[in-house]
Structure 1
Amino acid sequence: MDYIIEVRNKGEAHAGAKAPDDIAEICRRRGMKSFVIPPMPFDKNLFYRQFVLLIESIKVWIHIAKTVKNGDRVIWQHPAPGVRYANRFIPWIKKRKKVEFIALIHDLETLRDGIGQQRKSTAIIADLKLLPRFDYVISHNKFMSEYLHSIGISSEKIVNLEIFDYLYNEPVPEIIRNNGKKVIVAGNLTREKSGYVYKLKELNVDMCLYGVNYEGDIPDDIYKGAFSPDELIQHLEGNFGLVWDGTSVEKCTGNTGAYLKYNNPHKTSLYLAANLPVIIWSQAAMADFVKRNNIGIVIDDLHHLSESLKGVSEKNYQEMQQNVRMIGKKIRQGYYFNTALDALK
């Protein structure tokens, strides 16, 4: 029997919960059973949160230890609440039963360097102590896999996901060409993470913004609001989706910009699931996937964006969109995570 350790999330208008929820749903479709970590009370004080985490983590891990049998596999979505308890219980269970533990990486806090909610000491335990305990690790891409190998995880234990799935069961709206090249930005629009969006007037590009934490005074015809991940595809208006992070339009900067060199941004999956070709920073890890599949534009500097868009002919765009439709269908159906799991049999 295969199991998934599922973290229950509260629905919000951002993609933070979409990826782990989709992984859990794909596992259910494969016939797996779930061990559930309930939502953490992040609105409470630190002492109360730690107490709840202690109680819930021990309950979940004791339940896992009692339930699993020889030959079973357990999938952990990394990082999840209670990494310190996972770090203690996993080796304890493995000593008693022949159970395989598989880690599916969502984020590596040691690479994100303080972007997430974890404390640095917890991040070190999560990435440097817990991850090597797994029998297999599903990494984002070859660049993240190289980092995992550098921290002591054998290459034989690592499988690359390539790109995150984005489950979607509704018909995908047809893209309106709009006589050109309207560019969509979707995601967390804080100035720290996406400060470049507040400099878009410099670019002379037709843009639409979607997401939480918008802090600017851009007119309503540009900022379209925030929607839940399951609703967002129906609201997108444009021809390309932009994958960029940081405060600069010249290159991706800061922790979030540097992290693009290793991770698979979930917004890439959103755009492709919506049948939108993407525009991505040339140094991003996902740039290789975009070029290899001819599903968008790779760019060094957003100052060159207008010129690059002018260089996309109608024939070029149709070729990109044809490729995007094939990959988008796979993403909407859970192809990439299923393929990674099948490689571990």
Structure 2
Amino acid sequence: MKGEKMDYIIEVRNKGEAHAGAKAPDDIAEICRRRGMKSFVIPPMPFDKNLFYRQFVLLIESIKVWIHIAKTVKNGDRVIWQHPAPGVRYANRFIPWIKKRKKVEFIALIHDLETLRDGIGQQRKSTAIIADLKLLPRFDYVISHNKFMSEYLHSIGISSEKIVNLEIFDYLYNEPVPEIIRNNGKKVIVAGNLTREKSGYVYKLKELNVDMCLYGVNYEGDIPDDIYKGAFSPDELIQHLEGNFGLVWDGTSVEKCTGNTGAYLKYNNPHKTSLYLAANLPVIIWSQAAMADFVKRNNIGIVIDDLHHLSESLKGVSEKDYQEMQQNVRMIGKKIRQGYYFNTALDALK
């Protein structure tokens, strides 16, 4: 119908990989499609090519997408940007240009804030400053991870009236979830990027007498197959998980979360938390992580200061405690699998 308002999603096409990096934005795009939104597509970037070629492709594709957006949208339409997406410099120029000409609302859904990570390279830092400090304030609304990230956004000049908290990422999953066989088990699952730089703590868990299973890419250890289970795509992983709890931790230390990825847990919603809950698994999470508040409030796991205390904490979970946790996890897991949290955040912007 002519004149009818339309919502759009700027979709970044990803190549299938055995980690959650593509799962979150793909799920956001799918939820938007289910709501009847149309897509503007940024194609996959040729990361296997040299820098000059990548930048040239990014220039051409970004200009094509933004010209298409400018020609398509009309007064009253809304456009969702998944932040950060390729081409933040072009978005930073085109969004205000479009807003001057049409009454279009732009909404940013934050996946990551690179300005909160220490130790990134100079080029990435320059891009992060443009993305977070210049581009984000241009949006009419920003969907933040949680109250801690929202406080940071407010500190860089984004009005709290423009911010909505997501609470937790969804993890779309349409297959039956395998039943967890408890048998008073205490097996801990670690899923994600297992490189020593990001997850060095994993290689020290054996010393802590913890029964565990590892899943993910970049495994760098020498652990038997009964512990390391391999890498699977995000859509296949739930069917392969074997354990009773999912661990959310980052860095090289077992005493606290360290490094740029560890400190980042104080602000972000790790996608692995959503994976575990979608699989109906209670979580174990660092006490200083932003998501610890969500875990405690909903009684869906254990909050811990130091992994040296993990074995003792697991022993303290009675069968009754575990059943109560899992009952709560099932309720939240169902919402996560159906896209409840992003839908709720979008509905709050109406």
TM-score, normalised with respect to structure 1? 0.99
Is the 1:79–1:107 Cα contact (8 Å) retained in structure 2? yes
Q: C-alpha displacement at 1:118, in angstroms?
A: 6.3
Give the structure 2 partner of residue 330 of structure 1: 335
Q: Are the counterparts in 1 of residues 173 and 235 from structure 2 also a CA contact under 8 Å? A: yes
Deviations 1:1-22 (A, max 9, x none): 0000000000010000000000
- How far residue 219 of structure 1 moved from its aligned partner, in angstroms, is 1.0
- Cα deviation, residue 58, structure 1: 0.1
**Cα distance in 2, alignment partners of residues 113 and 125 from structure 1:** 16
Q: 1:70 to 1:117 in 2, by over 3 A?
A: farther
Using a 3 Å threshold, how does the CA distance of structure 1 residues 154 and 23 change in structure 2: closer, same or farther? same
CA contact (8 A) 1:109 1:118 kept: no
Shift in alpha-carbon separation, 1:157–1:52, aligned structure 2, 3 A: same
Say if 1:66 and 1:117 are closer, same or farther in 2 by CA, change over 3 A. farther
Contact 1:280–1:298 under 8 Å retained in 2: yes
The 3-state SS of whatever aligns with 2:284 is strand
What displacement does 1:113 show? 2.8
Aligned residue pair count: 345
2:7, 2:163 → 1: CA distance? 19
What's the offset of the Cα at 1:176?
A: 1.5
Q: CA deviation at 1:112?
A: 1.8
- Residue 118 to residue 295, structure 1, CA distance change in 2 (3 Å): farther
Q: Matches of 1:48 and 1:327 in 2, distance apart?
A: 44
Residue 114 of structure 1 and its aligned partner are, at CA, apart by 4.4
Give the Cα separation in 2 of the matches to 1:188 and 1:119.
20
User: Structure 1 114/101 Cα, relative in aligned 2: closer, same or farther at 3 Å?
Assistant: farther
Equivalent in the alignment of 1:321: 326
Does structure 1 residue 135 correspond to structure 2 residue 140? yes
Instruction: Map Cα deviations across residues 290-319 of structure 1 (whole Å, 9 max, x no partner).
Output: 000000000000000000000000000000
- 8 Å Cα contact 1:178-1:238 kept in structure 2: no
SS at match of 1:119: helix
CA RMSD of aligned residues (A): 1.0
Corresponding residue of 1:32: 37
Separation in 1, partners of 2:103, 2:118: 35
For residue 122 of structure 2, give the secondary structure of its aligned residue in structure 1.
Answer: coil
Mapped partners of 1:116, 1:276: distance in 2? 36
Aligned-pair identity in percent equals: 100
Q: 1:244 maps to what in 2?
A: 249
Q: Describe the superposition over 1:303-342 as per-residue Cα deviations: whole angstroms up to 9, x where unpaired.
A: 0000000000000000000000000000000000000000
Deviation at 1:177, TM superposition (A): 1.3
CA distance in 1 between partners of 2:10 and 2:283 (Å) = 32
CA shift digits 1:77-113 (9 cap, x unpaired): 0000000000000000000000000000000000023
Cα distance in 2 for partners of 1:123, 1:117 equals 10
**Per-residue Cα deviation, 1:96-155 (whole angstroms, up to 9, x for no partner):** 000000000000000023459961111000000000000000000000000000000000
| Distance in 2 (alpha carbons) for counterparts of 1:288 and 1:147 | 17
- TM-score w.r.t. the length of structure 2 is 0.97
Of 170, 180, 188, 2:175 maps to 170
For structure 2, the residue ranges without an aligned partner over 5 or more in a row are: 1-5
Q: 1:51 aligns with which of 51, 56, 60?
A: 56
The answer to whether the Cα contact below 8 Å between 1:109 and 1:116 also exists between their aligned partners in 2 is: no
The CA distance in 2 between the partners of 1:114 and 1:87, in whole Å, is 24
Change (3 A) 1:160 1:231: same
Q: Which moved more, 1:195-204 or 1:319-328?
A: 195-204
Whether contact under 8 Å (2:184, 2:319) holds in the other structure is no
Q: Secondary structure at the match of 1:118?
A: helix
Q: CA deviation at 1:230?
A: 0.1
Cα pair distance change 1:116/1:159, threshold 3 Å: farther
Q: Distance in 2 between matches of 1:117 and 1:310?
A: 46
Gapped regions of structure 1 (runs ≥ 5)? none
